[in-house]
Amino acid sequence: MAVAEHRISTAAPTTARPGPAAPVALGIGLAVLATLVWSGSFVTSRALGDSVPPVQHAFWRWVVALAAVAPFGARRAWRQRALIRRHLGFVLLASLLGVTVYNTLVNQAGVTTPAANMGMIMAASPVLMALWDRAGGVRLGPRRVAGLFIACAGVLLLVGGGASFSAGDLWMIAAACCFGSYSALLRRRPAELGGAAFLFTTFLFGTLMLVPAHAASVAVQGGFSPSPGTVLPLLYVGIASSAVAFFAWNRAVSLIGPTRAGIVYYLQPVCVALLSWALLAEPTGWAQAGCMALILSGVVLGAGSRT
């Protein structure tokens, strides 16, 4: 892609304005890919809720993801070990938010919360991305602020009586906060730290941080029985939802920023609702549809314009 972009730029050196279109289109495409893949992971978390304890689900997901990324990122991470040591605080925080905590909270929510609710609540995470942007100096105009309030109202209605409420909805709100903070944090990633090296390092540290919780879960809850019904979903979330989707999302954020990538993320509630209806036979009622419409209209309004 970089070679192709270089050739294009040398072929047309002075037709300046169309230049940024290629990275923007690539960023939006990568954000769409990550969003679609992650939609399936919410359905998987719900499907495994009764058979694989949440912490063990998260641990084995990241073990698989680490194995998938290692051939591409391990050597690069080793070559950049001095840079990683210099930015160790940033790397550890990204590992904690994006790997150790976020997916564990999603899995915990999947024990009691319908997948459609999980997707709708996660759709509010771009609100936090926009707020972090504001804290970083990006101006939020009246239209964006109004959109943020509308989206938050939709989430409050969903968890407060507008649709079926469960304790898992609170876990999902915490997960949405983690993901929004992780996405905003990506803007501070050192430019010289490559994507594959960054993924491998955060997957490694995040998995290591899960080891004590995994050991406690096995001791208290017992392990799960490997079968096609548990192993295949874990391979999906480990390879597609972790290695592929996280690389795509991180690259998208580096190209178009967290707020703009968050606009694409608003597709997720619709994708999750359709997948959960088709694969898990979960009904989607009028109350859920109303909350979904409120959240989507708010976040689109809020991030669609800076004015």
Query: Would you kindly state where each structural domain of the chain is located, as residue ranges?
Result: 38-303
Residue 65 has pLDDT above 70, yes or no: yes
**9 confidence band (pLDDT: 50, 70, 90):** very low
pLDDT of residue 177: 87
Q: Is the dihedral of CA 32, 100, 149, 274 positive or negative?
A: positive
Q: What's the CA gap between 116 and 270, in Å, rounded? A: 8
User: Any idea which of 43-57, 66-80, 289-303 has the lowest mean pLDDT?
Assistant: 289-303
pLDDT of residue 153: 76
Interval 30-53: pLDDT, tens = 988 988 888 888 778 777 877 888
**187 confidence band (pLDDT: 50, 70, 90):** confident
Amino acid letter for position 296: L
**92 confidence band (pLDDT: 50, 70, 90):** very high
Q: What's the CA gap between 200 and 289, in Å, rounded? A: 38
Residue 189 has pLDDT above 60, yes or no: yes
Q: What's the CA gap between 307 and 304, in Å, rounded? A: 9
Q: What's the CA gap between 185 and 152, in Å, rounded? A: 22
**Which one, of 101, 268, 95, lies nearest residue 177 by Cα?**
101
Q: What's the CA gap between 105 and 95, in Å, rounded? A: 14
Query: Which of 180-189, 211-220, 274-283 is the most confident on average?
Result: 211-220
pLDDT of residue 1: 37
User: Average pLDDT of 126-149?
Assistant: 69
User: Average pLDDT of 119-131?
Assistant: 73
Yes or no: say if 76 and 196 are a contact pair by the CB < 8 Å rule.
yes
Three-state secondary-structure class, residue 307: coil
Residue 87 DSSP symbol: T
Residue 25 DSSP symbol: H
Yes or no: say if 159 and 173 are a contact pair by the CB < 8 Å rule.
yes
Whose tokens are 């609710």? That residue is: 117
**Which one, of 182, 230, 223, lies nearest residue 206 by Cα?**
182
Tell me how far apart the terminal alpha carbons of the chain are, to the nearest angstrom. 33
Q: Which two tokens stand for residue 281?
A: 């036979």
Residue 275 has pLDDT above 50, yes or no: yes
Yes or no: say if 125 and 266 are a contact pair by the CB < 8 Å rule.
no
Query: Which of 2-6, 24-28, 73-77 is the most confident on average?
Result: 73-77
pLDDT of residue 91: 94
Rounded to a whole number, what is the largest CA-CA distance in the chain?
66
Bigger pLDDT: 46 vs 218 = 218
Interval 158-170: pLDDT, tens = 655 545 566 778 8
pLDDT of residue 159: 57
Residue 210 has pLDDT above 80, yes or no: yes
Radius of gyration of the chain (CA): 19
